[in-house]
Amino acid sequence: MIQLPATFPADQLDDFCVQVFRHYGVPGPDAKLAAGVLNLADVRGIDSHGVARLKTYVDMFKLGRINPKPNIRIIRDKKSVATVDGDNGLGLVVGPAANAIAIAKAREFGSGWVSVCNTNHYGIASYYSLEALKHEMIGWSMTNSTKLVAPLWGAERMLGTNPISIAFPGLTNPPIVIDLATSAAAYGKIEIAKRKGDAVPKGWIIDQRGKMSTAPDDMIDGGALLPLGSDRERGGHKGYALSAMVDILTAVLSGANWGPFAPPFALRQEIPARSVGKGIGHFFGAMEIDGFMDPTAFKKRIDEWIAVFRNTKPANAAMPVLIPGDPEHQEESIRRKNGVPLMESVVRDLSIIAGETGIPFIGA
């Protein structure tokens, strides 16, 4: 057995994903788009949403649960707004297509807003908000997802981790990139704690009776994540409301499955007994900066905002105040140069895919 390298060049991972998607029937340009979404997650250090997910997408293709050649179309629209049906295509293909519609509408009408049904996992929310920046726009992106989170005072999973992303361009600074799940913590962190045998902080999870817990198994075995804010005193009703907002804009408004009816993406997750629409939902927005303010003047103001907030008096001099997007930007500059580090389990998954498809994987 050969020694596996610790890191992989981003381009080679990208190429591998393109070929795998093509192998499962995705047309070349769509395969490139889809791989690009995963790759951005990998280079920005959002490891849970990059090639680590490729195996799940492949599983779905093998089961015929994703349409590799969707007819993505506008089913209703009025100037700056539209609803798009993703025809059960890969979320990584439907997402970029629907987001491009929002951007085209923004070019014509000053802003564009697209709610999407009949789609599935679309990767990192910030891929889409960052796309808008290439067109001198402010970008918005949201998606609903499989249930994991309890509404405040609830004792069962009713909402996904439903992320919100918005990005604003700087002039000399990298953009401000907001990308947050509306839960107090990510599900991945509960799994990591379980593997390590650690307790999780109070405020992350409840057990199946709705009681706060610090034992990962209490959440995993029929409990739930808590919304951002955790409990009533610290604003758990606000995290619940934000998650509800995402659920409604992405899924109620588009005709997708909302709340507890959002279909799962991973095979191990339970399929809801009831369907209230088609697939899951996304929501994209783009606003042309020029419609509000001279774009250069706006970017200068963003640069000034960044400078002022970076100079906030810190609680601890060793931990200065960050700008949203800082950690990902820093990671991107390292990984574009040094490559993407992958966990052994991810390399193993990619090697299995290589074996099944005959597509050579550099580490295999």
Report which of 227, 231, 255 is spatially closest to residue 158, judged by C-alpha positions: 227
- Which positions from 139 through 158 interact with its own copies, judged by CB under 8 A? 150-156, 158
CB count, 10 Å around CB of 43?
21
Q: Least separation, in Å, of the C-beta of 286 and its own copies?
A: 11
Helix (H, G, I), strand (E, B) or coil at 84: strand
Q: Least separation, in Å, of the C-beta of 292 and its own copies?
A: 5
- 42, containing H or E segment: helix 28-43
Q: Least separation, in Å, of the C-beta of 230 and its own copies?
A: 6
- Greatest Cα pair distance, the chain, in angstroms, is 60
- Which positions from 6 through 45 interact with its own copies, judged by CB under 8 A? none
Helix (H, G, I), strand (E, B) or coil at 109: helix
Question: Binder to its own copies among 10, 35, 66, 82 (CB under 8 A)?
Answer: 82
Q: Binding of its own copies at residue 120 (CB under 8 A)?
A: no
Asked whether the beta carbons of 125 and 318 are under 8 A apart, the reply is no
Question: Binder to its own copies among 36, 45, 272, 320 (CB under 8 A)?
Answer: 320
Cα–Cα distance, 253 to 117 (Å, whole number) = 9
Helices 28-43 and 125-133, packing angle to 10 deg: 100
- Which positions from 275 through 294 interact with its own copies, judged by CB under 8 A? 276, 287-293
Cα–Cα distance, 328 to 50 (Å, whole number) = 13
Contact segment (CB under 8 A) with its own copies among 30-38, 87-95, 196-204, 338-346 equals: 196-204
Question: Binder to its own copies among 23, 238, 329, 348 (CB under 8 A)?
Answer: 238
- Nearer of residues 13 and 166 to its own copies, judged by Cβ: 166
Q: Binding of its own copies at residue 229 (CB under 8 A)?
A: yes
Q: Binding of its own copies at residue 119 (CB under 8 A)?
A: no
